[in-house]
Amino acid sequence: MIGGRLGISPRTVHKHLNALYRKLGAADRLSAVLRAQDPGLLTGSADGQRGPDVADRPSR
* Mean pLDDT on 30-47: 75
* Mean pLDDT on 15-33: 88
What is the rounded distance in angstroms from the CA atom of residue 43 to the CA atom of residue 33? Answer: 10
**Per-residue confidence (pLDDT) for residue 11, from 0 to 100:** 92
What is the rounded distance in angstroms from the CA atom of residue 18 to the CA atom of residue 29? Answer: 10
19 CA to centre of own chain: 12
| Whole-structure pTM value | 0.51
